[in-house]
Amino acid sequence: MVKTLAESLADVRSRIEAAARKAGRASADVRLMAVTKGFPREVVQEALGAGLSLFGENRVQEAEAKFADLPVPCETHLIGHLQTNKARAAAALFACVQSIDSMHTAEALDARCAERGAPIDVLLELNTSGEDSKSGFRTCDELLAGLDAVRKLPLLRLKGLMTVGPLTDDPQKIRAAFAQLRSLFDEVRPGLSGFDTLSMGMSGDFELAIEEGSTLVRLGTALFGIRGTR
Ligand SMILES: *Cc1c(COP(=O)(O)O)cnc(C)c1O
């Protein structure tokens, strides 16, 4: 039996609750993002109906088609690499770009936001796994340099950090990647106002991420099933 969204959502919420409790945290401090990439537009409608209001897509073009004319106010984030030629569309479409991975991308987005005269929230992404297929700043030092530079861009509001955990079955490796980003977050946070978002955890590893301090989990499969089956 395929689970309904309501069933999957109830399951996910209780798992978030349990992971938060295990870590001595409040589950209210963990935001749940529905990642709709690879799923049809109807899934967004269904998710809105189920009370979800935070959505993530990893491609600008796919998001444009899917998020156009949504009936209810909701918040959309870009979670995949931003090509500079898509910066204008991204500025128009998203409340937050979680995947700032270079100064080049940051500057392009800032320039497009200046054109439209409105700021945008951003997270800086760290590639904690070292996997070439993943985007993000390559090292903590590069990310720290990026952070100093992004702070000077007037239209980007720096809200936090993001990572995609390593592709492995070894929970210790996954935990270590999340712990690395968490300690960087704790290190830089005191000097930055409004810096409150630590985006980590996907369907396969969100409980570990919550135990390691995540404030925003990005879930697709756990909510909507396997991509390509609907
Ligand atoms: C696809 C994707 C997710 C969601 O992945 P699931 O395994 O389906 O939960 C989360 N974050 C990013 C950056 C993604 O690209």
80 alpha carbon, distance to own chain's centre? 9
CATH code of the domain in which 190 resides? 3.20.20.10
In a domain, 20, yes or no: yes
- State pTM to two decimals: 0.96
How far is ligand 1, taken at its centre, from the CA of residue 37, in Å? 8
The pLDDT tens digits of the residues spanning 22-44 come to 999 999 999 999 999 999 999 99
What sections of the chain are H helices per DSSP?
Answer: 5-22, 41-49, 60-67, 87-93, 103-116, 140-151, 171-188, 206-211, 221-224
In a domain, 227, yes or no: no
User: Which domain range does residue 203 map to?
Assistant: 5-221
Question: Which residue minimizes the CA distance to atom 13 of ligand 1?
Answer: 79
- Cβ–ligand 1 distance for 221 under 6 Å, the answer yes
The pLDDT tens digits of the residues spanning 164-179 come to 999 999 999 999 999 9
- Cβ–ligand 1 distance for 199 under 6 Å, the answer no
109 alpha carbon, distance to own chain's centre? 17
Position in ligand 1 atom list of the atom nearest CA 223: 9
What's the structural domain count of the chain?
Answer: 1
- Cβ–ligand 1 distance for 136 under 6 Å, the answer no
